[in-house]
Amino acid sequence: MCLTIICLSDHFIVIELYIVNIPLNGGLTMKVSIDKTIRSMAIALDLAQISSNYNNFPGNDPIIENITNVNYSDHKFMHHSQRTTYIALEIANQINLDQKCKDRIYVSALLHDIGAANFLYDKSHSANLFIKEHCKIGAKITEHFPIFKDLSTIILYHHENFNGSGPMKLSENEIPIESQVIRISDLIEILYNENLSNFQQKDNIIKWVKNNCNKIFSETIVSAFLKSAMHDIFWLNLQNISFASFILDKMHPNLNMFMGIDEFEDISMIFANIIDNKSKFTATHSKGIASLAYRVSKHIGYPVEKCREMKIAGLLHDIGKLAIPLYILDKNDSLTDEEFNIIKSHAYYTKIILDRIEDIPNISEWASNHHEKLNGKGYPRGLKSDDLSEESRIMAVCDIYQALTEDRPYRKGLSSVKAFSIMDNMALENFICSNALNYLKESFFSEQSLPAQFRKRIFHLQHELSVHF
């Protein structure tokens, strides 16, 4: 460690520089598989749709799409993204599309309903508006997706009909081929009934697709589907949904692409916004914890990349809440035992989703342990002090502080003074780590105690140091 003293007016500021083996790319070494990340996020989106009660619309009206007359209200959406992607890849192979096009279909099929993850929670819209708006929202969300720049356009038009009767009124070749493939794949997946045998429904689905040729689908798209549908293996793969991941592993394009920490943080921010927008009471929750975790990490002297990883863990710590019904999250009364057990499961789902990425074990651990307690009375794993890293302890403290100072359905947000008073008692009772709590307090004090002009100059100095070292 090297200590450098910098004189700012009458004040002496001590800046600690931790010297490590820094590679030529500026010290940031994170390498995350794009494929694993997108597959993981697709699981999160399916959980979001599963947890949403489609019948909670005005008058309990079902969501029935114009033209197709397909009822979205009755669908379970279990493995929806993966099964849609499987169908899309089968059709893409029959059309003999080039590899880049197949790559785009693969990614956009997995994420095609990313706009629904937010819009589902708005109960004030009609079926037609839902169809149109979730496409527009999905396009907006993916507009600045760090990889696959065409993703936004494909998602925007994935409900268009070949005859121009879709929500955006595009027709025929105006509709991107990727969107056309996802359109038929999405509808087939919705039509497929897991409670019926293939024998009972295969012919009906094939007949329905044929009847909508040159109406919803082009002849090319229909012909490609029929070529796949004539083989038993196509229907057996749809039926055996428990093997969905295995089936996709065997046939998906080999992206062999990796992200650095900047791109992964961008994707994490996209999903943090989806998570936080689920409930009006958590509009800034994940981003707030990310900011706190980053601030504390910098304060105690973690390396630059580790500070960024803590920030990302904060952004993603509640991704499992996508699996929790909104009526529980926004309940303004005491939760029943069953409801409390359901809401506790979100930390479990966070780990399931993030562990799927594999390249971020630390982030997954820190994020999913934010409800664990030193005395073993936390959840979901009941870990004790010896099992909890300093980073996990910091994440837990940041989560509690953020939750206490935010408005909730049953109370107004508390002041910092009141929040810290409550947390002091929690530390005394061995629920949370007193050292982690002190780090959080010190990070506030160290920033707020300096004059604004000095804080600004320190920020610029830190930026310069991170660039040069």
pLDDT, one tens digit per residue, over 281-330 is 777 899 999 999 999 999 999 999 999 999 999 999 999 999 998 888 88
What was the pLDDT predicted at 17? Answer: 38
What was the pLDDT predicted at 10? Answer: 41
CA–CA dist 255, 43 (Å, integer): 18
CA–CA dist 25, 334 (Å, integer): 51
Kindly provide the b/e burial profile for residues 378-395, where b requires at least 16 CB atoms within 10 angstroms of the residue's own CB. Answer: bbbeebeeeebeebbbbb
Judged on CB neighbours under 10 Å (0-12, 13-18, 19+), 311 is buried
- Kindly report the CATH class assigned to 34-251: mainly alpha
CA–CA dist 306, 312 (Å, integer): 10
| Better-predicted residue by pLDDT, 234 or 27 | 234
Per-residue pLDDT, averaged over 353-382, amounts to 96
Let me know: does 307 contact 297? Beta carbons within 8 Å.
yes
Kindly provide the b/e burial profile for residues 231-269, where b requires at least 16 CB atoms within 10 angstroms of the residue's own CB. Answer: eeebbebbeebeebeebbeeebbebeebbebebbbebbb
Let me know: does 225 contact 213? Beta carbons within 8 Å.
no
CA–CA dist 66, 382 (Å, integer): 49
What was the pLDDT predicted at 419? Answer: 94
Domain borders along the chain are 34-251, 265-468
Could you read off the pLDDT of 65-87 as tens digits, one per residue? 777 777 776 666 778 899 999 99
| Better-predicted residue by pLDDT, 19 or 333 | 333
What was the pLDDT predicted at 73? Answer: 63
Distance between the two ends of the chain, CA-based, in angstroms?
A: 13
What was the pLDDT predicted at 250? Answer: 84
Q: pLDDT band at residue 13, thresholds of 50, 70 and 90?
A: very low
Let me know: does 191 contact 205? Beta carbons within 8 Å.
yes
CA–CA dist 20, 25 (Å, integer): 14
Q: Is the pLDDT of residue 373 over 80?
A: yes
Could you read off the pLDDT of 161-209 as tens digits, one per residue? 999 999 999 999 999 999 999 999 999 999 998 888 888 999 999 999 9
SS3 112: coil
CA–CA dist 290, 288 (Å, integer): 5
| Better-predicted residue by pLDDT, 407 or 119 | 407
Q: Is the pLDDT of residue 412 over 50?
A: yes
Could you read off the pLDDT of 213-260 as tens digits, one per residue? 999 999 999 999 999 999 999 999 999 877 877 888 888 888 888 999
What was the pLDDT predicted at 242? Answer: 76
Could you read off the pLDDT of 257-279 as tens digits, one per residue? 899 999 999 999 999 988 888 77
Q: Which of 43-52, 123-132, 199-208, 209-218 has the lowest mean pLDDT?
A: 123-132
- The highest-confidence range among 70-84, 104-118, 342-356, by mean pLDDT, is 342-356
What was the pLDDT predicted at 366? Answer: 98
Please state, for a pLDDT cut of 90, what percent of the chain lies above it. 61
Which amino acid appears at position 265 of this protein? E
Average pLDDT, the chain: 84
Q: pLDDT band at residue 94, thresholds of 50, 70 and 90?
A: very high
Per-residue pLDDT, averaged over 405-418, amounts to 84
SS3 450: coil
What was the pLDDT predicted at 169? Answer: 95
φ, ψ dihedrals at 15, nearest 5°: -115, 125
DSSP code of 13? E
CA–CA dist 469, 467 (Å, integer): 6
Q: Is the pLDDT of residue 441 over 90?
A: yes
SS3 260: coil
SS3 5: strand
DSSP code of 71? B
CA–CA dist 293, 310 (Å, integer): 6
What was the pLDDT predicted at 75? Answer: 65
Could you read off the pLDDT of 280-294 as tens digits, one per residue? 777 789 999 999 999
Q: Is the pLDDT of residue 466 over 60?
A: no
- Kindly report the CATH class assigned to 265-468: mainly alpha
